[in-house]
Structures are given as C-alpha cells and as structure tokens.
Amino acid sequence: MKSTIKLLTLFLIIVEVLLIPSLLLPKTALADGVIIRPDPYSDRWDYLGQNRQLALINYRNGLQKMILSINMKETNKEAVWIFPVPAEPNKVVIDVVTKLPGLRGKDVKKEAETRLFEINKVLQITQIYPIIFLKNYISPSYPRYDYPILPESGAIRGDRLKSDITIYEHLEKEGITTEIITAKTAKALRQYLQNKNLKVEITSIPALNYYIGKEYTFVVSWISKTNSNIITPYYQSTTPPHQSGQRGVFVTFPTKKIYYPLILTSVYGSEVIPITIRIIGFVSPKVFKDIKDYTKISYFIDEYYRVEPELKNFYGASYNGVKKKIKYTKIEINAPSKMLTEDLWISKRSPLKASLASFFAKNEAISTILLLILNSIIAGLLAGVIVFKEARNIKGLVKFGLIGIFNCLSIIGLIIAVSFTKTKKIKKEDEKLLEKLKQRGFSIQALQRKDSRKLIFVPLFSGLFLVISWIIVKLIELSL
C-alpha cells in the first residue's frame, strides 16, 4: 500500500511539472479598434423592402412600453408599417417620437470573462513562482460595448368606422400617420390599407389572418410626408451623443408577458432582415426551435446613463433627468424571414447565467477572496489525503482543509502553517519510548511536527491549487 501511494504521488508530481507551465503560458489577444455606429434603422413593415428592425422595450407592473424605429432615406405613399399587439384597443396608447438617446452598455459576460482572467492571475501569484510566467500576460480584449438608441410617449383620440374595421385612435405627427385598429377579417384589413393607397402584398394575408379573431389590436403607420433620415456615424466615446431627427412609434399596452411580433415578417420569404430588440432589465426570452440557431442573447449594464426629461414616460418618473444604472437584455435575430413562424414571448425572470456574470463582472475583490478560500480548501483536502494517511478520516479532512486556508497568505503562509502542524500520530507501542524521551527533556510535539512527508505535501498542494483554480475558472466561464 505504501509503495502504491509513493508511486501515485510521484506520478502526480511529474504530471504537474509537465502541466503547470502550459497553464501559465502567456496568453495574447488583439485589442480591437473599431468605429461604433448607431444601428441603421428602417421601416418596419414596409412591403417595398426592409433593412433592419429595432425595438426597445420597458416592462413594469404588467405594462409594456415599446418603441419601434422607423428610418427611411426615401419615403413612399405605398410604404406601410403594421404590427399587432396582444391587448384590447382601448388599452393601447400610441405616439410618434423624434429624439432617440444613446445608451451605451457593457456586455456583462465579456466583463465577467475579463474579471475571471484577472482573478486567475491573482490566484496563481499566491504561489509566487508563477510570477516568472505571468510577466507577459495580456488581458483579453473584447468589443464589450453596445450602442443602441431609445425614445418617448403620448396619444390622441380617434373615431370609429361602421364596417369590419374599427379605428380607435388616429395620430398625425412628424410626417407619420398612425392608427389603432381592429379587423374582423384579413380581407377587410387589406381593403382598409388599399383605401389609403397603401400597398400590401397578397402573400401577407395568411400572416395577417393569424391575428384575426383573437385578442390582438393592429397599430398601422405610414409616411405622409417626404423625409430623409440619415444618421451620421460617431466614434466610441464616454457619452454617446443623442440622435435627433430619428423617428419611431411608441406603443404602450398591458400584457402578462413581454411580447414582440415576428410572424408578419415571414412574408419576406428567404430574405434575412436583422432584428434587434433591447429590453430594460435581465429577462428570459422563450426562443422557439426554428430560430434558436439564428438568435443571440446578451446582457448589458450601462453604469451612468442620464435619462432625458422627454423620456420619463418610457423609463418612469424616477429616471427623470438623473443618472441611473440601467441593465438590459439584447436579442439579435438573423433568421430567414420564412422561419419566423411564431411571435416572441419573453419572461421577466432574470436568468441565472446573467446574474452570475453580473456578480463576477462587478465584484472582482469578493470573487477573488471566495475562490481563493474555496480552491485552497480543496487543494488542502486532496493533498492531505494523498500524502498523509492520518488525513483519511473526517477529523483529518477538517484539519487539512483548515491548513489549506493558510494559502490565502500565499504559499509562504501555508509553509509556515504546515511546519507548525503535528502530522505524525503516536502509535501505542511507541508511547512508552516517547514517555522516556520526554523525561529526558525531548519535545514530543517537535517529534510529531518533524515529518519528511511535508516536503511532498507543499509542492503537491501548490500544483493542485493551480490546476484546481484553472479548472474552476473555466467551469464558471462555461456557465456564463
């Protein structure tokens, strides 16, 4: 048994000698220098062609506030923008907005990965000798910022038509006409649009039919004046400029879950129309199977976002004119339009991986201390069990786990703790001999502390600590 343990110990030491340098090899990364531009906006339901869809959503207390952007270099009377909302028409509020502020957030996953990289370096430095390998370490560089755009609110009264179409509100503002309507049939809806000289392809009828006869209301917008909106690109900066001249529709409605319409976009067939949705808060989208491989979900935090007074209706009165830390979720869908066979429903529940990433991104010191203690205890337990048979019981595990904590004072603290620890167990047959030695002035405790196995324990602990730290950091990164 003793020879087996010695061989196992020797094997582990050899493995660590070969493995540890690979864990400590300098890592290089290229720092990306990029020009950050606002997202290009386009007419959302323009059957003459779309470039991109963009929405910003704020959901609180069962009320969804959604801003859908419109940006057209050339307008046309046939351009129509139509989307459904899952609410009764008398509970839907509309407005047209023209000023979109810049919201810059940091990707919490990328921030957490950077913090974990730094934490792993600190853990390695506690062993002192890895410093010679760490001098050329370069922290990973990520394009961690997001530059979306957001807006405001309002509504006016409308009238009713005695037909299969009922108009509940009519709004003309900033060259855009918007109406809240309900339709008894898809044919009536098409006729309504054609009566306003708005072009609707016949292929859109099946998609529109999905909402007919259900608890959905349509918001229809069209361009009533020629207008050109060209957004000038800007470079990455501490405070992105607000964008003016940009138009969008702001709709407010009650709903049990966060909602974004996708089905109508399916009329574009195989064409890919990038869709970007930003939702205030960390939320959990229920992405259906057809678009799962085409969807990316990421989470951001803007630490010091100053809300303009004009946006208080969207963000809430408490945000008026003050700096706030805003968390938000970004959903990017780049699927062929024909695959948008369902609308997107989103739970307000914050996903565990977003909360975990946020914790490591914002609590580097606490995370370092927690991982240092945890990894030291695990390394102490494993090294103790391998080297000392006295550690192969509950009392021994507790003892060597506590010894491992002294590694928090660096490997030197561990060495001092181990040197003062009694590791030899007195055998019954040796008790009489030791008693005689004690009477002659010899220290029994010194004999218990003098143990050649400690020369194996310390390097084995150090190697195990580095390997365990690397594994746990990687596991955390994979879980984000």
- Note whether 342 and 262 are within 8 A (CB): yes
Whether residue 351 is found in the same domain as residue 255: yes
Q: Is the predicted pLDDT of residue 400 greater than 60, yes or no?
A: yes
Whether residue 395 is found in the same domain as residue 452: yes
Phi, psi at 377, each rounded to 5° = -65, -45
Q: Is the predicted pLDDT of residue 119 greater than 80, yes or no?
A: yes
Whether residue 350 is found in the same domain as residue 303: yes
Most confident segment among 201-215, 220-234, 429-443: 201-215
Whether residue 153 is found in the same domain as residue 222: yes
pLDDT attached to residue 98: 72
Q: Which of 361, 381, 396 is the last residue of a domain?
A: 361
Report the alpha-carbon distance of residue 252 to residue 250 in Å, rounded. Answer: 7
Q: Mean pLDDT lowest for which of 242-251, 277-286, 321-330?
A: 242-251
Whether 383 is in a domain gets the answer: yes
Closest residue by Cα to residue 273 from 1, 43, 61: 43
Q: Mean pLDDT lowest for which of 88-102, 428-442, 447-461?
A: 428-442
pLDDT tens, residue by residue, 344-363: 999 999 999 999 999 999 89
**Higher confidence at residue 383 or residue 5?**
383
pLDDT tens, residue by residue, 216-226: 999 988 776 44
Q: Is the predicted pLDDT of residue 248 greater than 70, yes or no?
A: yes
What's the average model confidence in pLDDT over 3-24? 50
**Higher confidence at residue 95 or residue 152?**
95
Q: Mean pLDDT lowest for which of 111-125, 202-216, 439-453?
A: 439-453
Whether residue 350 is found in the same domain as residue 207: yes
pLDDT attached to residue 226: 45
| Other Cβ atoms closer than 10 A to 20 | 19
Q: Which of 340, 361, 382 is the last residue of a domain?
A: 361
Whether 115 is in a domain gets the answer: no
Whether residue 179 is found in the same domain as residue 81: yes
Transcribe 270-332 into DSSP letters: T-B--EEEEEES--EEE--GGGGGGEEEEEEEEEEEEPPGGGHHHH-GGGTTSEEEEEEEEEE
What's the average model confidence in pLDDT over 269-281? 89
**Higher confidence at residue 460 or residue 100?**
460
Q: Give exposure, 47-85, as e/b (b: 16+ Cβ within 10 Å).
A: beebebbbbbbbbeeeebbbbbbbbbeebeebbbbbbbb
pLDDT attached to residue 191: 81
| Other Cβ atoms closer than 10 A to 262 | 22
For residue 409, what are the contacts with CB-CB under 8 A and spacing of at least 6? none
What is the pLDDT of the chain when averaged over all its residues?
A: 75
Residue 413, domain extent: 2-27+363-479
Whether residue 68 is found in the same domain as residue 162: yes
Q: If pLDDT is split at 50, 70 and 90, which confidence band does 460 have?
A: very high
**Higher confidence at residue 101 or residue 452?**
452
**Higher confidence at residue 434 or residue 338?**
338
For residue 295, what are the contacts with CB-CB under 8 A and spacing of at least 6? 285, 287, 331, 332, 333, 334, 335
Whether 47 is in a domain gets the answer: no
Q: Is the predicted pLDDT of residue 151 greater than 80, yes or no?
A: no
Q: Which of 339, 361, 383 is the last residue of a domain?
A: 361
Q: Is the predicted pLDDT of residue 137 greater than 50, yes or no?
A: yes
Q: Mean pLDDT lowest for which of 20-34, 150-164, 241-255, 434-448?
A: 20-34
**Higher confidence at residue 196 or residue 20?**
196
Q: If pLDDT is split at 50, 70 and 90, which confidence band does 420 have?
A: confident
pLDDT attached to residue 77: 44
**Higher confidence at residue 214 or residue 17?**
214
- Note whether 313 and 66 are within 8 A (CB): no
Q: Is the predicted pLDDT of residue 184 greater than 90, yes or no?
A: no
Whether 233 is in a domain gets the answer: yes
pLDDT attached to residue 384: 92
- Note whether 361 and 115 are within 8 A (CB): yes
Whether 40 is in a domain gets the answer: no
DSSP at 398: H
Whether residue 424 is found in the same domain as residue 372: yes
Whether residue 291 is found in the same domain as residue 185: yes
pLDDT attached to residue 246: 63
Q: Give exposure, 398-432, as e/b (b: 16+ Cβ within 10 Å).
A: ebbbebbbbbeeebeebbebbeebbbbeeeeeeee
**Higher confidence at residue 190 or residue 318?**
190
Q: Is the predicted pLDDT of residue 273 greater than 60, yes or no?
A: yes
For residue 100, what are the contacts with CB-CB under 8 A and spacing of at least 6? 69, 149, 150, 151, 242, 243, 244, 246, 248
What's the average model confidence in pLDDT over 201-212? 74
Whether 430 is in a domain gets the answer: yes
Whether residue 240 is found in the same domain as residue 377: no
pLDDT attached to residue 317: 64
Whether 225 is in a domain gets the answer: yes
Most confident segment among 4-13, 126-135, 141-150: 126-135
Q: If pLDDT is split at 50, 70 and 90, which confidence band does 231 have?
A: very low
Q: Please name the residue that has the structure tokens 């194996």.
A: 456
pLDDT attached to residue 244: 47
Whether residue 199 is found in the same domain as residue 312: yes
Whether 80 is in a domain gets the answer: yes
| 3-state SS, residue 336 | strand
pLDDT tens, residue by residue, 32-83: 222 122 233 332 223 334 567 788 899 999 999 998 875 544 444 445 678 8
Whether residue 185 is found in the same domain as residue 305: yes
pLDDT attached to residue 8: 52
Tally the domains of the chain.
Answer: 2
| 3-state SS, residue 262 | coil
Most confident segment among 144-158, 194-208, 366-380, 381-395: 366-380
Transcribe 187-222 into DSSP letters: HHHHHHHHHTT----GGGHHHHHTTTTSS-EEEEEE
Predicted TM-score (pTM) of this structure: 0.73
